[in-house]
């Protein structure tokens, strides 16, 4: 019988415990602070930011939502980041991607104080992750590992295949799995015989942005399948990168879309914001 890895319920359970941690921090005079910067009016980004704000608010985290017009210059954005870097009440800074085309995303990421880089995208934090000294980790891979842990799935020795090599999911996911003693393959658009590579996986993580591209013939019977995708199929239905109807019957465990990885991503952002706030307590002690 296939186990459905319920990210929504898992995230809710985690947040109950995290709320207690936030309340304890407040008794020590520290309210975790998260600043989210949204540049422009991308509808999907606006929804993500709103969901993050709602979750933070429910936990008692101070959520600063900064909306800047699409006409914002790179210099104006960098100045805002510097202001937040200097603000002692802000523990985590997140700039919602993508940014307008005339703003250099990498320059913006590198402008964030690594100690406040709650997204884990700063080169310093990426380097710490790859040398197995993680400080902050990209929220989606962190959420996936937390979900696996919640279901007592130990990846040690597993043959893990990640389809997708983005800096947001694929690469940090590979580092985390390697740090947890899995054997890792990163597949991508140039991979030869992708179906054969995927079919060798004990753990298959898919983050391609292509609706239902992973079909039953690409999945090893009994594999654990993590679907990071959030796509619309030809009928306009919300689906993942995995053909759930085909793959679920042969997988030992699988994440649904929606309700799988998505809620864990936001939960991870909150968990890491609180972890950064804890460091402020120790620094002040």
119 is catalytic: yes
Which is nearest to 125 in space by CA: 62, 76, 167?
Answer: 167
Active-site entry in 52, 80, 116, 128? 52
d(CA 138, CA 117): 10
200 is catalytic: no
**Residues 121 and 104: beta-carbon distance below 8 Å:** no
Active-site entry in 119, 128, 227, 272? 119
Residues 52-59: contacts with CB under 8 Å, at least 24 apart: 52/94, 52/266, 52/269, 55/15, 55/266, 55/267, 55/269, 55/270, 56/270, 56/273, 58/15, 58/19, 59/15, 59/18, 59/19, 59/22, 59/270, 59/274
Was 166 annotated as part of a binding site?
Answer: yes
d(CA 93, CA 98): 15
Was 164 annotated as part of a binding site?
Answer: yes
Which residues define the annotated binding site? Answer: 164-166
Active-site amino acid positions: 52, 96, 119
Which residues define the annotated binding site for NADP(+)? Answer: 164-166
């Amino acid at each position: 019988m296939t186990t459905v890895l319920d990210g929504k319920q898992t995230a809710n359970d985690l947040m109950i415990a995290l709320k207690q941690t936030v309340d304890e921090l407040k008794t020590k005079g520290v309210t975790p602070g998260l600043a989210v910067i949204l540049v422009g009016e991308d509808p999907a980004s606006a929804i993500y930011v709103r969901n993050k704000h709602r979750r933070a608010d429910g936990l008692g985290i101070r959520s600063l939502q900064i909306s800047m017009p699409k006409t914002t210059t790179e210099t104006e954005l960098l100045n805002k980041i510097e202001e937040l870097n200097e603000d002692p009440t802000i523990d985590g800074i997140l700039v919602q991607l993508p940014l307008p085309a005339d703003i250099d995303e990498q320059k913006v990421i590198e402008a964030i104080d690594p100690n406040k880089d709650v997204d884990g995208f700063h080169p310093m934090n990426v380097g710490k992750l790859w040398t197995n000294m993680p400080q902050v980790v990209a929220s989606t891979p962190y959420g996936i590992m937390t979900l696996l842990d919640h279901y007592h799935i130990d990846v040690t020795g597993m043959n893990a295949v990640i389809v997708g090599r983005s800096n947001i999911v694929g690469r940090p996911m590979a580092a985390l799995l390697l740090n947890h003693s899995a054997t890792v393959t990163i597949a991508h658009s140039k991979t030869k015989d992708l179906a054969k590579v995927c079919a060798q996986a004990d753990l298959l993580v898919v983050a391609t942005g292509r609706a239902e591209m992973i079909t039953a013939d690409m999945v090893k019977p009994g594999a654990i399948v993590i679907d990071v995708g959030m796509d619309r199929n030809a009928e306009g239905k919300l689906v993942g990168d995995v053909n759930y109807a085909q793959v679920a019957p042969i997988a030992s465990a699988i994440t649904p879309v929606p309700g799988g990885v998505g809620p864990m991503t936001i939960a991870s952002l909150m968990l890491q914001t609180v972890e950064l706030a804890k460091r402020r307590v120790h620094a002040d002690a």
